[in-house]
């Protein structure tokens, strides 16, 4: 199975909802024609659209409906959206699985997202026998969420993100690799690139893929990162055989959630 990250290069993202939807559909279907089954777009992808405030889940599902005809899993980016009248907006991912659209909110909100809300739920999906979970940007920096997912046998972790400095890139990448090792899963991170309207700083980052640090993955095929005129793309083959072999040696780098049971932390120093 192939997973693909698609990140529009600065200046190439469409600037209205309908054009963005056509763009996402066209490029997703093109990736599917090359054997891709799982597609990841960036966090805040739809922020480039000047009319993003008119977006509703129903409208976006309608505009992206051509994707439902294919056997595809698509995380079609995130956007700030109000799902219920009278409630605060959320940073919400649009997820297509088995022909049905789902929503998942970002849980760990950044300071600039302090006015937003979240349903505090992580959705799990099964594609070709593999379990897929999503952690949006700062969510992947929370070890507690990794612990929560540890018992779910997650095979693929998707991380759309938007950061504006090198420190942010490092946090996302290091924590994504840590979650990959802890959960014994593949992790894909996909950045927003460019400056959406109203933003003062440019969003930066790289597409990266991580797999568990176990011998079973020593000879797996490497990902391929490419740059076209409009997209930064990354494609990674998922080696389900390596995943199964790694699970047989589960305690090598993925201890159980009960590992810390009965362990206490004691201070050995006292102030005079």
Tens digits of per-residue pLDDT, 167-194? 999 999 999 999 999 899 999 999 999 9
Q: Any idea how long the chain is? A: 272
Q: What is the mean pLDDT of residues 195-205?
A: 92
Supply the Cα-derived Rg of the chain in whole angstroms.
19
d(CA 161, CA 232): 14
Structure tokens at 154: 């997650």
Question: How confident is the model at residue 151, as a pLDDT?
Answer: 83
Query: Is the pLDDT at 262 greater than 90, yes or no?
Result: no
* DSSP assignment string, 105-158: E-SS--GGGTT--------EEEETTEEEEE--GGGGG-HHHHHHHHTTT--EEE
Q: Do 217 and 32 form a contact (C-beta atoms < 8 A)? A: no
pTM above 0.95, yes or no: no
Distance of CA 115 to CAs 45, 118, 121, 201, Å? 20, 10, 18, 20
pLDDT of residue 200: 84
Please answer whether residues 152 and 124 qualify as being in contact, where contact means their C-beta atoms are separated by less than 8 angstroms: yes
Q: What tens digit of pLDDT does each residue of 72-97 get? A: 999 999 999 886 666 788 999 999 99
């Amino acid at each position: 199975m192939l997973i693909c990250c698609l990140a529009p290069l600065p200046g190439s993202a469409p600037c209205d909802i309908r054009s963005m939807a056509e763009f996402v559909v066209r490029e997703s279907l093109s990736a599917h024609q090359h054997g891709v089954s799982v597609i990841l777009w960036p966090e805040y992808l739809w922020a480039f659209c000047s009319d993003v405030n008119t977006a509703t889940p129903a409208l976006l599902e309608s505009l992206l409906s051509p994707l439902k005809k294919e056997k595809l899993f698509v995380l079609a980016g995130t956007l700030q959206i109000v799902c219920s009248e009278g409630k605060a907006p959320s940073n919400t991912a649009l997820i297509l699985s088995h022909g049905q659209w789902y929503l998942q909110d970002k849980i760990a909100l950044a300071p600039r997202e302090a006015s937003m809300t979240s349903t505090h739920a992580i959705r799990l999906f099964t594609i070709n026998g593999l379990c897929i979970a999503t952690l949006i940007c700062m969510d992947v920096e929370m070890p507690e969420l990794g612990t929560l997912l540890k018992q779910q046998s997650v095979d693929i972790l998707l991380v759309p993100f938007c950061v504006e400095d090198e420190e942010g890139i490092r946090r996302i990448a290091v924590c994504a690799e840590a979650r990959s090792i802890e959960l014994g899963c593949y992790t894909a991170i996909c950045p927003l690139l460019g400056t959406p309207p109203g933003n003062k700083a440019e969003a930066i980052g790289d597409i990266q893929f991580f797999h568990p640090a176990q011998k079973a993955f020593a000879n797996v095929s490497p990902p391929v990162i490419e740059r076209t005129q409009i997209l930064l793309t990354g494609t990674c083959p998922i080696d389900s055989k390596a995943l199964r072999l790694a699970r047989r040696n589960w305690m090598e780098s993925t201890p159980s959630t009960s590992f810390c049971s009965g362990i206490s932390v004691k201070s050995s120093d006292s102030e005079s």
